[in-house]
Amino acid sequence: GAVVSQHPSWVICKSGTSVKIECRSLDFQATTMFWYRQFPKQSLMLMATSNEGSKATYEQGVEKDKFLINHASLTLSTLTVTSAHPEDSSFYICSAPISGGLNYGYTFGSGTRLTVV
Amino acid sequence: GENVEQHPSTLSVQEGDSAVIKCTYSDSASNYFPWYKQELGKRPQLIIDIRSNVGEKKDQRIAVTLNKTAKHFSLHITETQPEDSAVYFCAAFSNDYKLSFGAGTTVTVRA
């Protein structure tokens, strides 16, 4: 089945540094990738939608200059958390629609646990 | 945009009993409603879904019902087992091509 591989699974970084998270679609082309953030005991909150070859669309309240998204190919989307601070510590997870487009069905990456110290 | 509300936030049931989680949505154009099970620190796993042209769907011990008029849908788990303990999320897909999630329900099955 359609699989999205997400790396790293966990990362600890110092405050002020940047962290890149990668999501690769295996055996299918992901023209769209959704990026979510999940704080402990909370739901998945959509941060942004990336589309291959175009600029990402950010949800209200999400700083586009802080959370840089790149979707340069049909199989790779990246999220870079720039100048990370402790409040950015969270579980980040990507998701891509399957079944030939946005017509239902999603596959999720395994998530990245980011801890900023 | 779509707003999905989910209740209850926590649910404790005796092993073998049934568990019911209810969700409402706001966008009448929403047409796909998946349910996910998430274990701690892991990705959400799709357990069942329903489309707007269907009122009920069942898969072994899990069933989902959809009332489009009232804009609510429910998850039913029968004969619960300890391995059913997890956080469950409902979601709705609308015409803005986004999947909106409910707040989640922590289900605990007591042995």
* Chain A residue at shortest CA distance from B45: A108
A20 touches chain B (CB under 8 A): no
What type of residue is B36? Answer: Y
Distance CA A36, CA B84 (A): 24
Do residues B107 and B86 make contact, with C-beta atoms less than 8 angstroms apart? yes
* pLDDT tens-digit readout, A39-54: 998 999 999 999 988 8
- A-contacting residues in B 15-54 (Cβ below 8 Å): 32, 34, 41-44, 46, 49, 51
- Percentage above 90 pLDDT, chain A: 75
CB contact under 8 A, B100 and A34: no
Identify the weakest region by mean pLDDT among A30-34, A66-70, B97-101.
B97-101
- Percentage above 70 pLDDT, chain A: 95
- pLDDT < 70: residue spans in chain B: 95
Phi-psi region of B104 (alpha: psi -120 to 50; beta: other; left: phi over 0): left
Measure CA A102 to chain center.
17
CB contact under 8 A, B49 and A109: no
A39 touches chain B (CB under 8 A): no
User: What's the mean per-residue pLDDT of chain A?
Assistant: 91
With a CB cutoff of 8 Å and minimum separation 6, the contacts of A86 are: A15, A116, A117
User: Radius of gyration of chain A from Cα atoms?
Assistant: 13
Q: What pLDDT score does A103 carry? A: 52
- B-contacting residues in A 46-85 (Cβ below 8 Å): 46, 49
Q: What pLDDT score does A97 carry? A: 85
User: Radius of gyration of chain B from Cα atoms?
Assistant: 13
Higher pLDDT, B97 or A81: A81
Q: What pLDDT score does A105 carry? A: 80
Q: Calculate mean pLDDT across residues A70-86.
A: 94
pLDDT at A19 over 60: yes
Q: Calculate mean pLDDT across residues A8-28.
A: 95
Q: How confident is the model at residue A99 (pLDDT cuts 50, 70, 90)?
A: low
Q: What pLDDT score does B88 carry? A: 98
Q: What pLDDT score does B1 carry? A: 76
pLDDT at A102 over 50: no
